[in-house]
A and B are shown apart, each in its own frame.
Chain A
Amino acid sequence: MEEVANEAALVVALKNGEEWAFETVVRVYGGRLLAVARRYVRCDEDASDVLQSAYLSAFRAMAHFEGSAQLSTWLHRIVVNTALMKLRTRRRKPEESIDDLLPSFQEDGHHVEQFSDWAAPADVIMERRETRQTVRSCIDRLPDGYRTVLLLRDIEERSTQEVADLMRLTTTAVKVRLHRARQALSTLLRQELAPEDQGRNVRQQAGIKGT
């Protein structure tokens, strides 16, 4: 998280309602928080709305902020909660299916697909800005309800119970969604990052257009 020379002083100023402190807290922490909001809601306009609502909630709750917590962590949590609320209000149409990205099996329980080793260790993928961006865009392509669980469990490292509470799901449903989200991400990564001849088989099986 960003460092502020004297976070304690900033917190005091915020609690005292000093004007400079509000602008500082928006400028210093806002960039990263906007990126966090975007992971959840995906579009810039909604992310801006989330950031604004989150800061206003934070300002109102400032009196309850305890000195023992880190300001950046506290703001981060408020942004995530606000983003989840945003997703709930906009989830009107039926959720996209991710079945096409899940493995298929033969009658006897064997995989239909033959998975080849596409030989790109995570370290190699992480070396290049472009492939890192590809991974993020694959996560972006997961339907909201799956992407959110993946972000909360694997990236935020929240517990299954916590995610269940946040998303108003059972713990079993959280586990199922996380597993499906990871499988779908794995399929998308294979499509995007595996060499042509090794990705194609999967692409045809899944009936998905490459991008």
Chain B
Amino acid sequence: MTCRELTSFIADYLAGELQADTRVAFERHLSRCPNCVQYVADYRRAVDLGQRVYAHDEEPVTDVPDDLVAAILAARGGKFAPD
């Protein structure tokens, strides 16, 4: 397995969806290619960070501006028909 091939299998590998023989080849490549080890580590960290920055308490939230609240309530009560 080349670095290019390994790279194309990362998502399936992390999802535990690789066929056994492919997984063995994947892990064998990793065992002798520090560059791919680092690439996979970066990839996992990107997934992990993406998930964590949008976890419930991490994302800054502001109140709905008053004019938008008013617009929503007006649209509900009025003749305005949203598409």
| A-B complex is real | yes
Interface residues of chain B, those whose CB is within 8 Å of chain A, are: 2-5, 7-8, 10-11, 35-36, 38-39, 41-43, 45-54, 56, 58-64, 68-69, 71-73, 75-76, 82-83
Residues of the B chain whose Cβ atoms lie less than 8 Å from the Cβ of A182: 11, 43, 46-47, 50
Q: B72's contact among A1, A52, A122, A126, by CB below 8 Å, is which?
A: A52
7 contacts between A and B (CB under 8 A): A32-B59, A35-B61, A52-B68, A110-B4, A111-B39, A121-B45, A178-B11
A51 to chain B, nearest CB (A): 7
Residues of the A chain whose Cβ atoms lie less than 8 Å from the Cβ of B63: 27, 30-31
6 interchain residue pairs of minimum CB distance: A109-B2, A30-B64, A186-B46, A115-B38, A109-B4, A105-B4
A contact residues, total (Cβ < 8 Å): 50
User: Of the 9-residue stretches A63-71, A90-98, A131-139, A163-171, which lies at the interface with chain B?
Assistant: A131-139
Known contacts A150-B50, A182-B43; 10 further A-B pairs (Cβ under 8 A): A22-B73, A31-B63, A35-B61, A105-B4, A109-B5, A111-B3, A116-B38, A135-B50, A183-B43, A189-B42
A110 touches B2 (CB 8 A): yes
CA distance A117 to B45 in the complex (A): 12
Residues of the B chain whose Cβ atoms lie less than 8 Å from the Cβ of A189: 42, 45-46, 49
Residues of the B chain whose Cβ atoms lie less than 8 Å from the Cβ of A111: 3-4, 7, 35-36, 39
B72 touches A26 (CB 8 A): yes
A128 to chain B, nearest CB (A): 11
- Residue of A whose beta carbon sits closest to that of B48: A122
A155 at interface, CB cutoff 8 A: yes
B50 touches A31 (CB 8 A): no
CA distance A110 to B36 in the complex (A): 9
A110 touches B3 (CB 8 A): yes
With A103-B7, A110-B3, A126-B52 as contacts: A51 and B38 at CB distance below 8 Å: no
A203 at interface, CB cutoff 8 A: no
Residues of the B chain whose Cβ atoms lie less than 8 Å from the Cβ of A53: 82-83
A31 touches B62 (CB 8 A): yes
The CB with the most chain A CB atoms within 10 A, among B10, B42, B45, B56, is that of B42
Residues of the B chain whose Cβ atoms lie less than 8 Å from the Cβ of A115: 35, 38-39, 42
